[in-house]
Amino acid sequence: MSKTRFNAISAFASRPKLNVELPSEKISDFFASAVFGEKEMKEFLPSDAYKKLKASIKEGKKVDREIADQVASAMKAWAMKQGATHYTHWFQPLTGTTAEKHDSFFIPINGSGIEEFGADALVQQEPDASSFPSGGIRVTFEARGYSAWDITSPAFIMTVGSGKTLCIPTIFISYTGETLDFKAPLLKSIQALDNAATEVARYFDRDVKHVNTTLGWEQEYFLVDTAMYYARPDLVMTGRTLLGKRSPKGQQLEDHYFGAIPERVYAYMRDFENECLKLGIPIRTRHNEVAPSQYECAPMFEEANLAVDHNCLLMDVMDRVSSKHKLKVLFHEKPFAGINGSGKHNNWSLGTDTGVNLLSPGKTPRTNLQFLTFFINTIAAINKHEELLRSSVASHGNDHRLGANEAPPAILSVFTGSYLREVLDMIETRVDEDKFDEQDNITLRLDIHNRIPDIMLDNTDRNRTSPFAFTGNKFEFRAVGSSANCALPMTVLNAMVAEQLTQFKTEVDEYIKAGDYKDVAILKVLRKTIKESKRVIFEGDNYSEEWHKEAKKRGLSNNKNTPTALSVLVSEKSIKLFESLGIYSHREIEARYDIALETYSKAIQIESRVLGEMVVNQIIPACIEYQNKLINNLKGLKELGVNAKLYASQTSILTQICEGIEKLTALDKEMFDLRVKGNGISDTKKQALLYCDKVKPIMDEIREISDKLEGIVDDELWPLPKYREMLFAK
Q: Which of 51-60, 434-443, 554-563 has the highest mean pLDDT?
A: 554-563
Cα separation, 569 vs 13, in Å, equals 49
Flag whether pLDDT at 447 surpasses 70.
no
For residue 173, give its domain range.
Answer: 31-181
Flag whether pLDDT at 2 surpasses 70.
no
Of the candidates 459, 624, 460, 431, the one whose C-alpha atom is nearest the C-alpha of residue 523 is: 431
Question: Pairing relation of β-strands 145-149 and 163-174?
Answer: antiparallel
Cα separation, 140 vs 129, in Å, equals 10
In a domain, 684, yes or no: no
In a domain, 454, yes or no: yes
Q: Are 140 and 170 in contact (CB under 8 A)?
A: no
Residues facing residue 165 across a β-bridge:
86, 158
- Domain check: are 427 and 506 in the same one? yes
Question: How are the residues of the chain apportioned to helix, strand and coil, as percentages rounded to the nearest 5?
Answer: 50, 15, 35
Flag whether pLDDT at 275 surpasses 60.
yes
Please tell me the predicted confidence (pLDDT) of residue 457: 45
- Domain check: are 173 and 197 in the same one? no
- Domain check: are 449 and 476 in the same one? yes
In a domain, 92, yes or no: yes
Query: Where a domain ends, among 181, 213, 245?
Result: 181
Q: Which of 185-189, 468-472, 514-518, 664-668 has the highest mean pLDDT?
A: 185-189
Burial class (CB in 10 A: 0-12, 13-18, 19+), 54: middle
Of the candidates 606, 584, 580, the one whose C-alpha atom is nearest the C-alpha of residue 671 is: 606
Mean pLDDT of the region 696-707: 91
Please tell me the predicted confidence (pLDDT) of residue 54: 87
The model's pLDDT over 597-641, given as tens digits with 9 standing for 90+, comes to 999 999 999 999 999 999 989 988 888 888 787 777 655 544 555
What interhelical angle do 263-278 and 304-324 show, nearest 10? 130
- Domain check: are 207 and 262 in the same one? yes
Cα separation, 525 vs 514, in Å, equals 14
In a domain, 186, yes or no: no
In a domain, 357, yes or no: yes
Sign of CA dihedral 536, 542, 544, 545: positive
Please tell me the predicted confidence (pLDDT) of residue 425: 86
In sequence order, what are the residues at sequence separation of 6 or more whose Cβ sits closer than 8 angstroms to the Cβ of residue 513?
Answer: none
Count how many domains the chain has: 2
Question: Pairing relation of β-strands 211-225 and 163-174?
Answer: unpaired
Cα separation, 89 vs 99, in Å, equals 8
The model's pLDDT over 390-432, given as tens digits with 9 standing for 90+, comes to 999 999 999 998 766 666 678 999 999 888 888 888 888 865 5
Q: Are 711 and 246 in contact (CB under 8 A)?
A: no
In a domain, 379, yes or no: yes
Flag whether pLDDT at 114 surpasses 60.
yes
Flag whether pLDDT at 297 surpasses 90.
yes
Q: What does the DSSP 8-state code read for residue 535?
A: G
- Domain check: are 164 and 280 in the same one? no
Query: Where a domain ends, among 575, 596, 617?
Result: 596
In sequence order, what are the residues at sequence separation of 6 or more whose Cβ sits closer than 8 angstroms to the Cβ of residue 674?
Answer: 683, 686, 687, 690
Q: What does the DSSP 8-state code read for residue 594?
A: H
The kind and range of the H/E element at 469 are strand 468-470
- Domain check: are 233 and 297 in the same one? yes
In a domain, 21, yes or no: no
Query: Where a domain ends, among 181, 209, 226?
Result: 181
Q: Which of 3-7, 373-377, 445-449 has the highest mean pLDDT?
A: 373-377
In sequence order, what are the residues at sequence separation of 6 or more whose Cβ sits closer than 8 angstroms to the Cβ of residue 135?
Answer: 94, 590, 591, 592, 593, 594, 595
Of the candidates 96, 99, 107, the one whose C-alpha atom is nearest the C-alpha of residue 125 is: 99
Of the candidates 350, 309, 315, 313, the one whose C-alpha atom is nearest the C-alpha of residue 329 is: 315
In sequence order, what are the residues at sequence separation of 6 or more whose Cβ sits closer than 8 angstroms to the Cβ of residue 16?
Answer: none
DSSP alpha helix (H) spans, 544-640: 545-554, 562-566, 572-581, 586-614, 620-633
Please tell me the predicted confidence (pLDDT) of residue 644: 61
191 half-sphere exposure, CB direction, 13 A CA radius: 16
Please tell me the predicted confidence (pLDDT) of residue 285: 93
Cα separation, 289 vs 222, in Å, equals 9
Please tell me the predicted confidence (pLDDT) of residue 363: 66
For the stretch 399-436, what's the b/e string if a residue is b when 16 or more beta carbons lie within 10 angstroms of its beta carbon? Answer: bbbbebebbbbbbbbbbbbeebbebbeebeeebeeeeb
Cα separation, 268 vs 262, in Å, equals 10
Cα separation, 69 vs 57, in Å, equals 16
629 half-sphere exposure, CB direction, 13 A CA radius: 14
Of the candidates 229, 532, 565, 516, the one whose C-alpha atom is nearest the C-alpha of residue 382 is: 532
- Domain check: are 365 and 260 in the same one? yes
Flag whether pLDDT at 443 surpasses 50.
no
In a domain, 484, yes or no: yes
CATH number of the domain bearing residue 135: 3.10.20.70
The model's pLDDT over 30-46, given as tens digits with 9 standing for 90+, comes to 998 999 999 999 999 89
- Domain check: are 267 and 132 in the same one? no
Please tell me the predicted confidence (pLDDT) of residue 238: 96
- Domain check: are 64 and 211 in the same one? no
User: Beta-carbon neighbour count of residue 445 at 10 Å?
Assistant: 13
Please tell me the predicted confidence (pLDDT) of residue 435: 47
Mean pLDDT of the region 81-91: 93
- Domain check: are 328 and 438 in the same one? yes
Of the candidates 156, 485, 171, 155, the one whose C-alpha atom is nearest the C-alpha of residue 312 is: 485
In sequence order, what are the residues at sequence separation of 6 or more whose Cβ sits closer than 8 angstroms to the Cβ of residue 652?
Answer: none
- Domain check: are 169 and 212 in the same one? no
CA 496 to chain centre: 18
Flag whether pLDDT at 719 surpasses 80.
yes
Tell me the average pLDDT of the chain.
86
Please tell me the predicted confidence (pLDDT) of residue 224: 95
> Which of the residue ranges 109-123, 214-228, 479-493, 532-546 would you say has the lowest mean pLDDT?
109-123
The model's pLDDT over 341-372, given as tens digits with 9 standing for 90+, comes to 999 999 999 999 999 999 988 765 556 889 99
In sequence order, what are the residues at sequence separation of 6 or more whose Cβ sits closer than 8 angstroms to the Cβ of residue 685?
Answer: 563, 567, 597
Mean pLDDT of the region 329-334: 96
- DSSP codes of every residue in 476-522: EETT-BTTS-THHHHHHHHHHHHHHHHHHHHHHHHHHHTT--HHHHH
Cα separation, 313 vs 278, in Å, equals 12
Measured at the CA of 450, the angle between CA 446 and CA 451, to 5 degrees, comes to: 75
pLDDT band at 578 (very low <50, low <70, confident <90, very high): very high
| CA-to-CA separations, 106 to 84, 115, 232, in angstroms, rounded | 11, 4, 43
Q: What is the pTM of this model?
A: 0.92
What interhelical angle do 487-513 and 304-324 show, nearest 10? 170
- Domain check: are 177 and 195 in the same one? no
CATH number of the domain bearing residue 223: 3.30.590.10
